[in-house]
Amino acid sequence: MLSSEIVEGNEERYQFTWPNKRKAILAANAPINATLRPCREESVDFDTTQNLYIEGDNLDVLKCLKETYLHKVKMIYIDPPYNTGNDFVYEDDFAESASEYLANSGQFDEQGNRLVTNTESNGRFHTDWLNMIYPRLKVARDLLTEDGVIFISIDDNEVENLRKVCDEIFGESNFIATLVWERAYSPKNDAKYISNSHDYVLMYAKSAANFVIGRLERTAEANARYSNPDNDPRGVWKPSDMSVKTYNAECDYSITTPSGRVVEPPAGRCWRLSRNAFRERLQDNRIWFGSDGSSVPCIKRFITELKHDGMAPTSILFYKDVGHSQEGAQEVVSLFGDKGVFDGPKPVRLLERLITLANLKEDSIVLDFFSGSATTAHAVMKKNVEKEKNCRFIMVQLPEEVSDKKKDQGYKNICEIGKERIRRAGTKIKEENPEKAQKLDKGFRVLKLDSSNMKDVFYSPKETEQQDLFALVDNVKPDRTSGDLLFQVMLELGATLDSKIEESMVDGKTIYNVGDGYLVACFDQEVSEDVVKAIAKMQPMYAVLRDTSMADDATTTNFEQIFKTYAPNTTTKIL
């Protein structure tokens, strides 16, 4: 309201920004010192499954996956916190002392990031949510294939901000649609103003030019619109209006029907066909004048000549087609037999519809990094059986503590609920489809985010004493296993975490063969020349051993020469 003479500041430009946006961008690019450790005892079919369940802060997990899964994920679905005033959001890089931790009600992940309630009274209400979601979407985009697509569930609280964030990260030209999901099947009579019955699902492609949407199967209702009243040998058809609004003098003419009636184009319109085009279609029996031969002419559209199989999807997701929130809750109850195991799960049919729109290939990867109750994994398994595909899922979830009521039901955190749901859902799908589900992969490898397997050896001279030097001879942390080291190396060298792993013994040492010779590794101590020769003779793309593995100086000296002799094209790496 002040005079323009005293208004200061840079010249305005169209942009979307908020406090600490620059830090959010830096958070997406900042390196991490973390790895993923396998957990066989919580996995299902560890040695054969191609599915993954990863526990940990999803931003760090996405960064761990980034190099190995770059441009490999066909579909991402996330159901992030809606920022309703009661949701938890991350305060990234917000570390506290133990005493401060005890004084606060928030939870920490293993990297010291605090999970806090973002209340509406918070002066940074939208800012904190944006700083949480931005870096995660930024990293996730790099994982998508060029024809990949991301779906994000959200409600009215942040849909506008999320749309602007996605326009910036994915590009406005790659926006596909805002799907409106009919979440509730009946109104809430105690609503203050309007009973809110919907949520949104934002849909963005990695590249709209490369993305081809999946079409829906034709329903009986849709097929009922086609008939064949004139017994045309080309099959059933439906009439299509022959007039258009756009005027063209060449298409403004009168038509005489078989009954002799003269028909003009409707007022303000003209025919969509020129005279010659009309005559050609008339000759080919593609014009219909009604059963009595005196109706306004229309064009016959044959179902056999449709350009696409199936129907074009619409932006409204009706609950009769994709389920409602209560259906999602009932599905969890039917699996667990208990009420209140998980709050607000999405219905499986909703995820099945999104999977259809994503147009997955035979073995596409589906990622959900706000996995919750693992509805996405459930839907992928159901779709695999229905379409006889072998699509894989990667579920990522922070092991958030659950309420005391849920603990009484036997679950300490959300991850335990999600993993148990996958186990039960896979078993149920197989029981309901004994023939089609014989080859269903209902297993998953459990991996847990943790700090690096390697010791922190970057000490300054004044911080190091002589006895410390002997302690640093072995650079691997004492609590880490060979399996931990193997999965770290798999991430570093580009072997997907679902790769086939075979173990063999040579001279009493365990040799791991990953991906049929892509990577061969041995992390045991006292490795002899015979073991090194056995690895070299396998001629892997990569061979990895520990720095302290060699049994003696002779083995260390001959190591390079052995590989030159037996596997000159193998790249060797020493941990």
- Local structure of residue 197 (DSSP, 8 states): -
Q: In what order do the strands lie in the sheet with 88-91?
A: 88-91, 114-117, 107-108
pLDDT, residue 124, reads 66
Angle ∠(173,176,181) on CA atoms, nearest 5: 150
Instruction: Residue 80: name the closest of 128, 8, 143 by CA.
Output: 128
- Beta pairing partners, 470: none
d(CA 537, CA 563): 8
- Residues 53-66: tens digit of each pLDDT: 999 999 999 999 99
pLDDT, residue 57, reads 94
d(CA 475, CA 231): 81
Which parts of the chain sit beneath pLDDT 50?
Answer: 92-114, 458-459, 468-472
- Residues 175-207: tens digit of each pLDDT: 999 999 999 988 888 888 999 999 999 999 999
Q: At what angle do helices 325-336 and 414-432 cross, to 10 degrees?
A: 80
Residue 406 CA to chain centroid, in angstroms?
Answer: 27
Encoded tokens for 402 = 């659950």
- Beta pairing partners, 324: none
Backbone phi, psi, residue 177, to 5°:
-170, 155
Q: Which helix (H) or strand (E) holds 537?
A: helix 529-537
- Label residue 342 exposed, middle or buried (CB < 10 Å: 0-12, 13-18, 19+): buried
Q: Which helix (H) or strand (E) holds 365?
A: strand 365-368
Task: Write down the pTM of the prediction.
Answer: 0.84
pLDDT, residue 108, reads 46
Longest dimension (CA), the chain: 110
- Local structure of residue 306 (DSSP, 8 states): -
Neighbour-count burial for 44-69, b at 16+ CB within 10 Å, e otherwise:
bebeebbbbbbbbbbbbbbbbbeebb
Count Cα neighbours of 158 within 13 Å in the Cβ-side half-sphere: 27
Helix (H, G, I), strand (E, B) or coil at 85: coil
